[in-house]
Amino acid sequence: MTALPTLDLVPGTTLPPLEIAPISRTTLALFAGASGDHNPIHIDLDVARSAGLDDVFAHGMLSMAYLGRLLTGWVPQERLRSLGVRFVAITPVLGRPTCHGTVLDVTDGLATLDLAVRLADGTTTLTGTAVVDLTEGPS
């Protein structure tokens, strides 16, 4: 059985936030290559400008990956049953996201968490939920 988090798992429990360094253009280039999302709107300033934007912006899936880190930094990954997000706002270059999670409910050994990614200026970029299995051992 893999160790469980030491937090008290009751509704309202807040996970330790995951603070991300300002997102650089280098990070966007590396994530484009590693994730396979080669949409130039995230990496090519010329394309972004041709689309009427002032600059490139971060991949939504990059922020979702950060939420994955928030969760797997808290519980073993094999306990993560589901993760879902809504992309609410774009993340600009040099945006500084912080991932937040709060326990909404614990029923039958399943913890449901309310998730959000927010920038330093208060903008919410992603909202979501996750379900973590507190009962089973690793599969």
Partner 1 sequence: MALDHEAALAVTIPDLAVELERGRLKSFAAAVGETDPVHLDADAARAAGHPDVVAMPTFVFSLDLERPDPFDYLDALEVDLRGVLHGEQSFTFHAMLHAGDTVTVRSRITEAYAKNAHMDFVVKHTDFLRGDELVAEADSLIVVREVAA
Which residue's CB is nearer to partner 1, number 10 or number 109? 109
**What 3-state DSSP class applies to 124?**
strand
Closest approach of Cβ 126 to partner 1, in Å?
9
> In this structure, is the dihedral angle defined by the CA atoms of residues 130, 131, 137 and 138, taken in order, positive or negative?
negative
Residues 12-51 within binding reach of partner 1 (CB under 8 A): 20-21, 27, 30-31, 33-37, 51
Stretch that binds partner 1, among 3-11, 68-76, 98-106, 109-117 (CB under 8 A): 68-76
Q: Is 65 in the site for partner 1 (CB under 8 A)?
A: yes
Establish if 115 lies at the interface with partner 1 (CB under 8 A). no
Taking Cα atoms as reference points, which of 63, 71, 94, 79 lies closest to residue 134?
A: 79
Collapsed DSSP state (helix, strand, coil) of residue 27: helix
